[in-house]
């Protein structure tokens, strides 16, 4: 679903990983679109899809939110492989950090 939505804005999700409470994505966005426009579109349309598909909603409900209001965006530049590796391995890193926090 995320890939289909990105394509509607001529964008490409090059890397992505879903976590329990957030999503990491590396998206190529053409310069004619603002990052906020593409991210807002993906967040809005995916929230509607998830509500209808998994929550049994027949219509949109005003005042309810699936995604947090904000997002973080950065350019990739020369660090593209670092960003790809971060996205691919973030879940394992989160588990490692959680384990360290449990230690006395």
Rounded CA gap, 41 and 28, in Å? 15
Is 86 one of the catalytic residues? yes
Q: Confirm if 54 and 47 have CB atoms less than 8 A apart.
A: no
Write down the catalytic residue from 33, 49, 71, 86.
Answer: 86
Distances in Å between the alpha carbon of 104 and those of 26, 89, 99, 100? 36, 26, 10, 9
Cα torsion 60, 65, 70, 76: sign: negative
Rounded CA gap, 37 and 94, in Å? 29
Active site positions, annotated: 86
């Amino acid at each position: 679903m995320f890939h289909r939505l990105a394509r509607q804005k001529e964008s490409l999700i090059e890397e992505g990983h879903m976590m329990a409470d957030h999503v990491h994505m590396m998206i190529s966005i053409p310069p004619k679109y603002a990052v906020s426009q593409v991210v807002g579109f993906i967040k809005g349309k995916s929230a509607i899809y998830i509500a209808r598909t998994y929550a049994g909603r027949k219509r949109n409900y005003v005042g309810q939110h699936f995604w947090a209001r904000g997002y973080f965006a950065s350019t990739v530049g020369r660090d593209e492989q670092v960003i790809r590796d971060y996205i691919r391995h973030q879940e394992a890193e989160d588990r490692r950090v959680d384990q360290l926090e449990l230690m006395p």
